[in-house]
A and B are shown apart, each in its own frame.
Chain A
Amino acid sequence: MTGTASDGGGRTRDAVDIAAGHTAIVAAVFCAVVMLLMLANGISSRAVDPLKAHRLSAMQVKLNREPQNETLRREVWRLDRSIRTGYFRSRWFALQGAYLLAAGVVVYLLALEVARRRQAQVPVPRPDAPERVWVESLAARRSVTALAALLGATVLTLSVLGRHDLSAEYARQAASGWAGPRTGPERNGVRVQVATAPAPGPVSGGLPPLSGSSAGAGTPLTPVQLPPAPSGGLLSTGGTALQPLPVPAPSGQAGARPGTDARPRSGPPVRLSPISVPGGEEQWPQFRGPGGAGEAPAAEPPLEWDAVAGKGVVWKAAVPLPGHNSPIVWRDRVLLAGADKARREIYCFATDDGRLLWRCPVPQRPGGKEVKVSADTGYCPATMATNGQLAFCIFADGVIAGADLNGRLVWTRDLGPLENHYGHASSLVVYGNGVIVQLDQGTAPEDGKSKLLALDAATGKTVWQIERPVAGSWSSPVLVRAGKRDLLIAVASPFVMAYDPRSGAEVWRAEVIGGEVAPAPAYGSGLIYAVNLGSNLAAIRPDGSGDVTRTHVVWLGQENLPDIVSPLHSDGLLFLCTSDGLVTCLEATTGAKVWEHALDAPVHSSPVAAQKRVYLTDTEGRTTVFEVGRSWKALARNALGEPVHATPALVGERIFLRGEKHLYCLGK
């Protein structure tokens, strides 16, 4: 490297040096100006951030309240466009500025490099430099020690700040199983309170009477003598009147299920038994049989059949109209419903030979809008219920009907129009002299559209009605006797709720469920089980009151959860089945997985059990029968020959199974 030399080329080199230096200065100034402009652009772009356009958001809220305000609508469009234009313009400006800045920096560095090289001086050897380096390293000892002290002080400060905070309290309390305080957060500026349900006890005054309801509104359900059935019909005119409210059945009687006691989270185990209408213990009077438990303790259904080959089929009857509702059975009658866009009908078949005894059309809502349903639900997905005198049916549009067992339409009610995007699918249950309807609607609990109603069985008039703080659901309620209390268990996001079926009074609730709930709850081993895909499988002790989320939820599961098929409890085991056909067996008291097995077809039908066997039918109509046991053991695989979505009914030595087009009676 040579320095500037006073030879002929020196002036040229000087000119180059000067040019390089000036170029570097100009480039530096250019870069500074560009950076200032970009900074100004960055500051001004904050006013056009679409994500923080509060004024626009406020105008949009106002427009939602005044959808007819065209002036406001145009103003919103104008402001939105202006914000978006400004935002993208500032982004473009920033990008161009970045390119210019990069170019300026490159020019600056190159010019500086040229100038530096040409001005480089002759380096001077410094043989005495090593001593200075060593002296400096001695000073480094003190600075390293200072750094260690600084780091230690920083750590101590952070630890003090980090330990003393409110949030640490949850860490301590969470370890003791506490789930959170009772008050909820603010939502939309309103603090959500977790309500305290009234303690169970004597029924107090119910809701104020509803317009159009009978004088019985607000009073609990009591036994009512129904008008006698017309003579001449197939049904015996002996006309069984409804018994008074069933007393708690001692163990050993029909309908009582010994079950296994749960290992309690705290307190003694709760004995659970299904509630059924009098005489219904050996029938199949509602969805999933007596009490909705899915078990038929007294039935002895067949193990094998092949409907394609005609083996094991007692009879097969065509069902005039389609429907996914499951058959119910009362003595010599099998009832189900069918519907399409234009028609609603209830059918009654004879159990012994499958004759269509009668078909009862149910009138639609006059002048009503056509209900929108999904292909998975159809127009009548909800299963009927019967008290042995009348049969009750509800359709997807909210029309509910009561007919006697001779086919006479006794009453109809229109509970719609319903805000239910799949169509109403919750099955009916009968309690005492009433029929209970779980009418969950809307897309969020805040919609406030969900309710639970009890209708007088004889007249259809509302006996009681309560609002439910839940979103729409397609789950069906179950009735269970927990100790000495009768409970109606209903599930919808976000709560599993228990009610006194006599009055509709809320007994307890647990905030454990979410999403679009379709599976019905199950119970056994002293626990109530509620489940939904994407949420939880929750096991809840039923002996609480109020908000039991933090006190009575015994265990939660998140694996292999179903979204359609209801769980089944039998002999201390809980059976789940996903829509894909993955069957899981869990220990009912702890939720521990015992086994799982994948079927090779989807499943929409819920499992039912009898004789320590589970019957599970897939959508292709194949029924897999497996053992209620701690290992998978398939006992039979039976073909039907047509798709199945409904749940079979087990009565006596027969199985009543509804296919897409036919009703089958299977047995000997």
Chain B
Amino acid sequence: MSRKVLAAGALMLAGGSAHGQEQKKQPPPEFTSGYQLPSTTTPNPRPDLFSTIDVLVLVVVMGLVAYYVLARRSRREVRVLVVFSVLYFGFYKAGCVCSVGSIQNVALAVAASDYALPFAVGAVFVLPLVFALFAGRVFCAAACPLGAIQDLVLQRARRVPGWLDHPLSVLPYLVLGVGVLLASTGSLFLFCKYDPFVGFYRLSGPAGVLAFGGALLVLGTVVGRPFCRYLCPYGVLLRWCAALSRWRVRVTPAECIQCHLCADACPFGAIHPPQPERVEIDRRRERAAVSRLLSVLPVAMALGAWAGWLVGPALARTHPAVRLADRLWQEERGVVRGTTDETTAFRNLGQPNAVAYGAGVAVRRQFEVGTALLGAWCALVLALKGVAVRMRRARKDYEADPASCVSCGRCYASCPVDLAQKTGQPVELILQRGPST
């Protein structure tokens, strides 16, 4: 409670000058009982100094993860950092500002000339990507509060079969596209509104979102990081950057003995097995299938754009200007009874309805263009996924896919070769006793 009082007081002081003019017109009552006006935002905006400290903490955490995972090949410290992230980035900062939500701020800043991207938000957007370019997805390992909470509940991961894993892995791309569209048009911050775990960090939230988050956590006890793998939009960007990473997780420090223990130990299906020699590969048929897919790609994207254009008006209703215009129209025609706060407030402005209708039409046109691009994007993603499931890359040993690997370090403890190096024991003995996981 004292933290909230202090935060409320700091907020009032910080905003005092900015709101001086407002207070001139409608000052709040002066309570003599010591009552303090509660803050109406959750979480409270943080002063710039604290925001900078948060960014520095993020950098330190990612740096430590990179050091322990890539240099020391140790998971123990990563687990400590996971707990730290849950406490600091989760409970203390109430899950905001986070890198996942920062995508929307960046999209809005690009699309709207009157929106200035705060430094802290820009930093949490860029820094994990920069780290991913050099050291892989160290952000996911321990710095992301959404991933960290899933990591804590993971008990005994079950492998998701490929026929389910591949189509589900397309969803983050679609979520990214929809979220960027809605944010750039000023309609909605989708990722923030439906963040499944922020309600737990704030100990309150909409019942539906809490239930969704709870379901994901329950699922997360047996499926490794379901949100990260099948919904997280920021993970798409991290995948692109991590695929180019200079340094990455290498499961075995020496010759791989093809025991498959690392792949079994990885809860996220990020370790790819070597190309089996017993399956005959018809490379010509594979190339023909890929060529066919790529040749229809422009047509698919055009169809996708057309389909997206069709759905523009439906998606446009997420924008308040369109909702207002729709509601005004319905009230004027008598389709609905009564008025809403929004239509009442608009009518009190004394402006003709044409102003609202014009604004709604303008937003709808924006959405028609935006959803066309979204449709093309979805078609592109699906087509490229179709290409990916048809292609086999030559691989001699078990390798962690840098795009999918979240740098958690679980594979190290399962690798007999790694343990043999660390302990000096022969590999056969370790296999007999079993590696620690």
- Across the A-B interface, how many residue pairs have beta carbons closer than 8 Å? 218
Which residues on the A side are within 8 Å of B349 (C-beta)? 514-515, 534-535
Interface hit among A170-178, A197-205, A208-216: A170-178
Within the assembled complex, what's the spacing in Å between the Cα atoms of A173 and B332?
Answer: 14
Residue of A nearest to B217 (CB): A105
Given known A-B contacts A1-B436, A161-B314, A183-B332, A94 and B163 have beta carbons under 8 A apart: no
Q: Which of B265, B326, B352, B433 contacts A512 (CB 8 A)?
A: B352
Q: What is the interface of chain B mostly: helix, strand, loop, or mixed?
A: helix
Q: Which of A95, A127, A152 contacts B258 (CB 8 A)?
A: A127
Tell whether A122 is near chain B: CB-to-CB under 8 Å. Answer: yes
Tell whether A112 is near chain B: CB-to-CB under 8 Å. Answer: yes
Which residues on the B side are within 8 Å of A125 (C-beta)? 259-261, 431
B364–A147 contact, CB under 8 A?
no
Which residues on the B side are within 8 Å of A121 (C-beta)? 434
Given known A-B contacts A99-B203, A137-B162, A143-B163, A123 and B330 have beta carbons under 8 A apart: no
B311–A178 contact, CB under 8 A?
no
Q: How far is the CB of A87 from chain B (nearest CB, A)?
A: 14
Q: Which of A140, A156, A171 contacts B364 (CB 8 A)?
A: A171
Within the assembled complex, what's the spacing in Å between the Cα atoms of A138 and B398?
Answer: 20
Given known A-B contacts A1-B436, A158-B314, A136 and B260 have beta carbons under 8 A apart: no
A126–B264 contact, CB under 8 A?
yes
A181–B436 contact, CB under 8 A?
no
Against A, the Cβ 8 Å flags (1 = close, 0 = not) of B181-216 are 000000000000000000010011001000000000
Residue of B nearest to A152 (CB): B307
Residue of A nearest to B269 (CB): A133
Within the assembled complex, what's the spacing in Å between the Cα atoms of A191 and B334?
Answer: 9
Tell whether A223 is near chain B: CB-to-CB under 8 Å. Answer: no
Interface residues of B in 345-388 (CB under 8 A from A): 347-355, 357-358, 360-361, 364, 375, 378, 382, 385-386
Given known A-B contacts A98-B204, A158-B314, A550 and B165 have beta carbons under 8 A apart: no
Tell whether B51 is near chain A: CB-to-CB under 8 Å. Answer: no
Most B Cβ at <10 Å: residue of A102, A139, A161, A180: A180
Tell whether A493 is near chain B: CB-to-CB under 8 Å. Answer: yes
Within the assembled complex, what's the spacing in Å between the Cα atoms of A536 and B351?
Answer: 7
Interface residues of B in 64-123 (CB under 8 A from A): none
Interface hit among B53-61, B129-137, B272-280: B272-280
Tell whether A195 is near chain B: CB-to-CB under 8 Å. Answer: no
Interface hit among B6-14, B140-148, B238-246, B335-343: B335-343
Against A, the Cβ 8 Å flags (1 = close, 0 = not) of B374-412 are 010010001001100110100000000000000000000
Q: How far is the CB of B117 from chain A (nearest CB, A)?
A: 27
Q: How many residues of A contact B (CB 8 A)?
A: 83
Q: How many residues of B contact A (CB 8 A)?
A: 83
A143–B434 contact, CB under 8 A?
no
Tell whether B36 is near chain A: CB-to-CB under 8 Å. Answer: no
B382–A102 contact, CB under 8 A?
no
Given known A-B contacts A148-B382, A171-B361, A155 and B273 have beta carbons under 8 A apart: no
Which residues on the B side are within 8 Å of A163 (C-beta)? 310, 313
A535–B311 contact, CB under 8 A?
no
Tell whether A145 is near chain B: CB-to-CB under 8 Å. Answer: yes
Tell whether A144 is near chain B: CB-to-CB under 8 Å. Answer: yes
Residue of B nearest to A494 (CB): B350
Interface residues of B in 245-282 (CB under 8 A from A): 258-261, 263-265, 272-276, 278-279
Against A, the Cβ 8 Å flags (1 = close, 0 = not) of B296-333 are 00000000000110111111010000000110111111
Given known A-B contacts A144-B170, A163-B310, A180-B357, A112 and B351 have beta carbons under 8 A apart: no
Given known A-B contacts A98-B204, A130-B273, A147 and B170 have beta carbons under 8 A apart: yes
B332–A159 contact, CB under 8 A?
no
Tell whether B421 is near chain A: CB-to-CB under 8 Å. Answer: no
A514–B351 contact, CB under 8 A?
yes
Interface residues of B in 152-174 (CB under 8 A from A): 152-153, 155-156, 161-167, 170, 174
Which residues on the B side are within 8 Å of A512 (C-beta)? 350-352
Given known A-B contacts A144-B385, A159-B310, A162-B311, A183 and B354 have beta carbons under 8 A apart: no
Which residues on the A side are within 8 Å of B347 (C-beta)? 494
Q: Which of B166, B260, B364 contacts A126 (CB 8 A)?
A: B260
Q: How far is the CB of B220 from chain A (nearest CB, A)?
A: 11
Which residues on the A side are within 8 Å of B273 (C-beta)? 129-130, 133
Q: Which of B164, B315, B350 contacts A511 (CB 8 A)?
A: B350
Q: How far is the CB of B417 from chain A (nearest CB, A)?
A: 12
Q: How far is the CB of A140 from chain B (nearest CB, A)?
A: 4
Which residues on the B side are within 8 Å of A75 (C-beta)? none
Q: How far is the CB of A287 from chain B (nearest CB, A)?
A: 24
Which residues on the A side are within 8 Å of B155 (C-beta)? 112-113, 116
Q: How far is the CB of A156 from chain B (nearest CB, A)?
A: 7
A120–B354 contact, CB under 8 A?
no
Q: Which of B260, B332, B378 contacts A181 (CB 8 A)?
A: B332
Within the assembled complex, what's the spacing in Å between the Cα atoms of A66 and B254?
Answer: 89
Q: How far is the CB of B386 from chain A (nearest CB, A)?
A: 6
A186–B337 contact, CB under 8 A?
yes
Which residues on the B side are within 8 Å of A493 (C-beta)? 350
Q: How far is the CB of A54 from chain B (nearest CB, A)?
A: 14
Within the assembled complex, what's the spacing in Å between the Cα atoms of A428 and B331?
Answer: 39
Given known A-B contacts A133-B273, A140-B163, A186-B338, A95 and B203 have beta carbons under 8 A apart: yes
Within the assembled complex, what's the spacing in Å between the Cα atoms of A534 and B203?
Answer: 41
Within the assembled complex, what's the spacing in Å between the Cα atoms of A532 and B349?
Answer: 11
Within the assembled complex, what's the spacing in Å between the Cα atoms of A185 and B347?
Answer: 10
Q: Could you pull out 23 A-B pairs where Cβ atoms are within 8 angstroms?
A: A1-B434, A95-B204, A102-B203, A112-B155, A116-B156, A125-B259, A130-B260, A140-B166, A142-B163, A143-B163, A143-B164, A170-B329, A170-B360, A171-B313, A178-B354, A179-B354, A185-B334, A185-B343, A494-B347, A513-B350, A514-B351, A535-B351, A553-B352
What is the interface of chain A, defined by CB distance below 8 A to chain B? 1-3, 42, 94-95, 98-99, 102, 109, 112-113, 116, 120-123, 125-127, 129-131, 133-134, 136-148, 151-152, 155-156, 158-159, 161-163, 165-171, 173-175, 177-181, 183-187, 191, 493-494, 511-515, 532, 534-536, 549-550, 553, 556
Top 3 A-B residue pairs of the complex, sorted by shortest distance between their CB atoms: A514-B350, A162-B314, A136-B162
What is the interface of chain B, defined by CB distance below 8 A to chain A? 152-153, 155-156, 161-167, 170, 174, 200, 203-204, 207, 258-261, 263-265, 272-276, 278-279, 307-308, 310-315, 317, 325-326, 328-335, 337-339, 343, 347-355, 357-358, 360-361, 364, 375, 378, 382, 385-386, 389-390, 392, 414, 431, 433-437
